Amino acid sequence: MVLALLAAGLVFCGTAAASFVPAASPRIKTMGRWIPADNGSLYAGRGGVVVSTQFEGTGVQVQMYSDSQGDCWWLKKLDDGPLIRFKVQMGMNVLFQNLPMGKHTLFMIRDTEGMRGVTILRGFYFIGESETPAVSVPTAVQGNANHSGTAARTGKPTHNKTVGKKTVSKKNANAPVTPPVQKAPRRRSIEIIGDSVAAGAFIYPEGDYFQRESSYLAFGPRLARMLNADWSLVASSGEGAVRNNEEKPPYNAMHAGEQIERAFYSQKEPRWSNQMDDPDLVILAYGENDFNDEVNRPSDAYFKEQYKELVLKLRQFRPNSVIFCMTPSNIVTSRRSVPGMGGAVAELRAAGDTNVYFVDLNARGPLLGPSDTLDGVHPLASGHDKIALYLRAYARAVLGWN
């Protein structure tokens, strides 16, 4: 029954007039790793993904599904109101209702990492908004326009010529030509690839593991907001660059390298293409799980070689990005990671890649105090804020951002 409703796009939204806008509509802006489907839906299997839209009406509902791998928490925000956390239900979710008639802006952020499966965003019902005919989109902005204003070009450009001081079409020399669409300036963009700390584990004080997690409040999205940048979060709890949590040699489980090109954590396909985005900065945030067991940890030499291979794979995928190789915030694992991580970066830079940087969070002593972490490993909100501030200084210096 649910699948039939999903296929038909049928939901129940009361008796008030409402317009349905599919998720893949140009009206819907996205940030992060979203994959469009032929039926107009969008799929996301990562934490921190964002969807936003504007509407004119008195309420908004969203039709969402998942592959049922557990509860998934989201944040919603209307206009200048507060962020409100909610657990997604299969099917229709009432987001806001009984609003004053007028124009509104909606933001939604997935707060739960990709281990909780794939979210299927079918579309939105805008209550009180009358059905409107499809609006033709100029060629320069057709396709899946994203949150940063970039768009895929489709169709053939019109070839024009100049007559006197007027630009006219070859098809009708007497008709004025519509001025070219001005493409929005490219926004700054940061991608964070990391473990449970990058995913924002244990930021909230109560609930089960995933209920206590907040992708939005984690250091990566915090840093992006500090720098007025878009973000993409590719974070997986328990994962390491070389060794996962509780893993013993010979370290043959899936590690960080497998995540670089995955759109979703839980599925090998579809792959994420480096043509879909082009981050200015990529932060590799590993080392905690690699070194949290003194007995089963990798040797410095082994870690250095494997970590170097990871960065080389990332460089192939992100040829234009600055790469920050960041130590854990935990002072114990941070010190253990320095020889191999720092050594790998030094060798890569000596080989010519001067856009890769080693970022030692504890180079000047412990960055976080006892009150900044839950357990010495997972930062609380104050700890994530300190990490983001530390990284902001590096980003400003390296990228020239203010």
Place of tokens 């412990």: 366
Strand partners, 32: none
pLDDT of 9 > 50? The answer is: no
Task: State pLDDT tens for residues 100-126.
Answer: 999 999 999 999 999 999 999 999 999
Q: Is the pTM of this model over 0.75?
A: yes
CATH topology for the 188-399 domain: Rossmann fold (3.40.50)
Question: Could you say which of 2.60.40.420, 2.60.40.650, 2.40.128.110, 2.60.120.260 is the CATH number of the domain covering 16-127?
Answer: 2.60.120.260
pLDDT surpasses 50 at 92 = yes
Domain ranges of the chain: 16-127, 188-399
pLDDT score of 4 more than 70: no
pLDDT for the residue numbered 185: 67
Give yes or no for residue 155 having a pLDDT over 80. Answer: no
pLDDT at 11 over 50: no
Cα(56)–Cα(129) distance, integer angstroms: 6
Between 341 and 146, whose confidence is greater?
Answer: 341
Selection from 109, 132, 172 nearest residue 20 by Cα: 132
Return the pLDDT at 17.
78
DSSP character at residue 315: H
pLDDT level of residue 16 (50, 70, 90 thresholds): low
Name the β-bridge partners of 51. Answer: 30, 108
Kindly indicate the confidence band of residue 154, based on its pLDDT and cuts at 50, 70 and 90. very low
Q: Can you give the pLDDT at residue 6? A: 40
Q: What is the pLDDT of residues 219-267, one digit of tens each?
A: 999 999 999 999 999 999 999 999 999 999 999 999 999 999 999 999 9
pLDDT tens digits, one per residue of 281-306: 999 999 999 999 999 999 999 999 99
- Closest by CA position to 340, among listed 272, 240, 267, 245: 240
Residue 291's pLDDT is 99
pLDDT of residue 131: 61
How buried is residue 393: exposed, middle or buried, by Cβ count under 10 Å (0-12/13-18/19+)? exposed
How does the average pLDDT of the chain come out, rounded? Answer: 87
Q: How confident is the model at residue 166 (pLDDT cuts 50, 70, 90)?
A: very low
The rounded distance, in Å, linking the Cα atoms of 229 and 26 is 21
Higher pLDDT, 386 or 172: 386
pLDDT of residue 183: 52
| Mean local confidence (pLDDT), 174-179 | 43
Provide the edge-to-edge strand list for the sheet that holds 166-169.
Answer: 160-163, 166-169, 172-176
Reported as a pLDDT band with limits 50, 70 and 90, residue 18 is confident
In this predicted structure, the answer to whether residue 79 has a pLDDT above a threshold of 80 is yes
User: Quick one: which H or E segment has residue 54?
Assistant: strand 50-57
pLDDT for the residue numbered 160: 37
How far apart, in whole angstroms, are the C-alpha atoms of residue 193 and residue 257?
A: 10
pLDDT at 158: 31
Instruction: Give yes or no for residue 152 having a pLDDT over 90.
Output: no
Say which amino acid occupies 170: K
How many Cα neighbours within 13 Å face the side chain of 4? 1
- How would DSSP label each residue in 251-302? --S--GGGTTTBSSSS-S-SBPPTTS---SEEEEE--HHHHS-TTTPPPHHH
Identify the band that residue 184 occupies on the pLDDT scale cut at 50, 70 and 90.
low
